[in-house]
Structure 1
């Protein structure tokens, strides 16, 4: 029954005119395409918004990090200022060296009160300050209750402050004030060292309220349900909006699910289900104090702005579908017959009959299309032939160029040089040679890329010349001068090596005394020029002409590296680029490479 039904539909479809077939086909294709496009667009926009939220969360935590860094540095600076204050140091020296009576103690405490009053609120963000003597006894000064300070500063912490000497931060604790109130604070302790005697005089302690730390991220909250946590090295909560969570262990199972804090990378974002709500969780590490900053943002707040975009996409999709419906009908009606004829011709051409041409005998657009198609096929045939010849020449040149540039004997000779250095106990030279060799081949291979930056080409040549100078120190010196602005422009890989090799072996090495190789790179208008100059034996005009204009068969293999560079540059960039050789026999040779100024 099903087969009969299918055959009936097939028969009806065959009886439909080609115009209607094209119309139906376009409607189906456009409907499916628009549906897929709409779904993909919605999906991509959601993904883009989430990625944007992740980046924003990372940037937000980075800003918090910077603000927290400024706050901690300011607090530490206040601790250093307090510990080096002259009046404080004089009083502590007096206490350390003498047993004071009660009147003298009162005078000391009065002076210390005056000193710390400049450091605490309202002059700074420090809520209070304490001074501990060298005998670990707190002076009865300031707002802090000494008993609550003693409970935090045990012997182990005091020893740590004395040993480290730089400011030491404690974890969060409750500080009781003399007037009865309690606050969550961080203590910043700094050992006081006598500037004149170098003796330990005591410890300066400053207190920073947790609310000062919290104000940093509270000012950055965008959404109402955003939440921030700051954790200490033991993953205890030391700052958050909900103060009831302070001193509690961070609930990894609730906020991270299957993930663990120690396994999360810096600035990494996770999407976690928290109490049934998909939430973006981002972690940033504050390395200075070994703290962790965590932000949680509900996903419904992130994607809420995408709902309007989704509606707009659907409206546009429906409008496009209606337009496509009308356009498909008109298009199928207008071009059905001649287009099918053109399709038939194209199918035959696709089968390999490239000599076939369209013949519509019409002066309308379809006739113009046929003429254009015929012209295009003629041009394609010519281009195919041209591309085939150019590719063949290019592959031959690149193959020969590779042979001339990365010659096995260079590797063998360098390895033999390294062995010789080792035998002569010139280990430093051997190490440097191996380093230069590795650098040369690392860049010359360059992950298979044929085009690299001039900066990489310069480093490659520098490695090559460094090896050659170790081998032929009696023949050559070299100098490299490249303008900074051209270093990011592109150059075919190993363009300069054959030119440098030619200068060494056929210029400088044939000279009786020591010679110099100078390579300069600069930009002029919209072109980059690189000059390879040597004061060797020079090249005759006939030889220059032979190098640049003779075929690979006529050139020797040593000359072909240079001519291959010229051919390769002309193939890649055009006839106006390539090499120019200037030389006077017995005096110098200068090879100039001309390239387009194109950034990689």
Structure 2
């Protein structure tokens, strides 16, 4: 029977191992392939899109700056004056103004000015002196126009070179007279664009190009493509028809590729980057492969460990299970047999120790309960019935009155009133007036004891008399004033009891002119809950805690004492929370 149960546990452990490890790992692998891979792919793509977008922003800033430079030339007052008075101006005058502009920029290769068929220039020497007279330029109204890249032959010293230039041209209009004054053409080396997108070409197999709105390629990382067109590319529609923003297109050819394009807002050109998906997602694919093989290896290792531990540890676990069943039936003498010093052995020792502690605890609780009942019975026997004491003292009071002993009668009357209030103190709350009456009766008894050396002044606002307060909060304070205020050097004590409302608070101040309380004594009073030497046996700490319990933590006692100058105790209560006494 025992072997059958052990075999069953082992099979369950093996089954749980497959369910909790193999199934989740396989699920994770499948989920990764379907979902997570797509998420990571989108992240990689978004990163690539962002890099293209940032580069297009960089190009937009560059081209906008060049347009502003052309505006500065066409609006230059000196140049406009020369054009207005061109008959008096010399050829050198125009070239000198243009040289002043070109020397201020390192990215401008050539500035040409065409006015009434005359060509003025500053910069490199262009061999082909043909003029760029496009119909769009002739019909323009002075706005900057960009023209595609073309190869130009230039002469530097005695040598001639071929270079690719893209141009910015605009009509010069004198806005004072609205007359056409000529045309301005700025030549920029195509390498200027390459420098701007050089960071995008670092990826292996990536191609970057810039084309205009017609699809003509103006610049490309593969220089052979300059002057060509993207209209034959499978992605041209998505790239050209997207008027603004950025996006990506995946397409399949000889190699699966991703095309990322972004619009340069200043002139509508398109920045396009193509990269193979194998390169773009290479790192992600490596991570996926490592994850799959690592997961499979992990599953095999864990299954092996599960088989090993299922055979090694099921036997002592079953033994401990049997001991726990005995304990459930009430047999606290049962103990498990410990055969090893490993964690399972420690578990067996802990189980035995726990059972022993339970046994000791039960014995201790039974013993403590018996001792508690004995103490309660002893206290019950020693307790004096307050009703019996009240009735007896009341009888003595009337006998003292009949015999004419007024002092004894007065003291017993006060004591009887105190006992009457004590008998009725089953209530948690009494009115402030009742609390003060309790203090008055207590003072009557203390005046007899101290030969009327106590003088109390009551200054109570009428509207505070009916406010309900926790019981027995003032008498312990007055009692402390008497105990620590009357000494051989200070036989008389004046106490001032004052109550008033302050906003939503009921404030009661009790101030004496005694010698004050030492700091150590005060700390003891504030930490002791009761005192067997006092009439009420209620300490200041108890008073403070009960006030906070009824009214809130922001209320309670404030004690201000200084040796030789007396003591002042402020009782703060929430009048709103305490409530008003019913009529």
Which of the five TM-score ranges fits, normalised by the shorter chain? 0.3 to 0.5
With structure 1 as the length reference, what TM-score do the two structures score? Answer: 0.47
Higher relative helix content:
1
- Which structure has the larger Rg over C-alpha atoms? 2
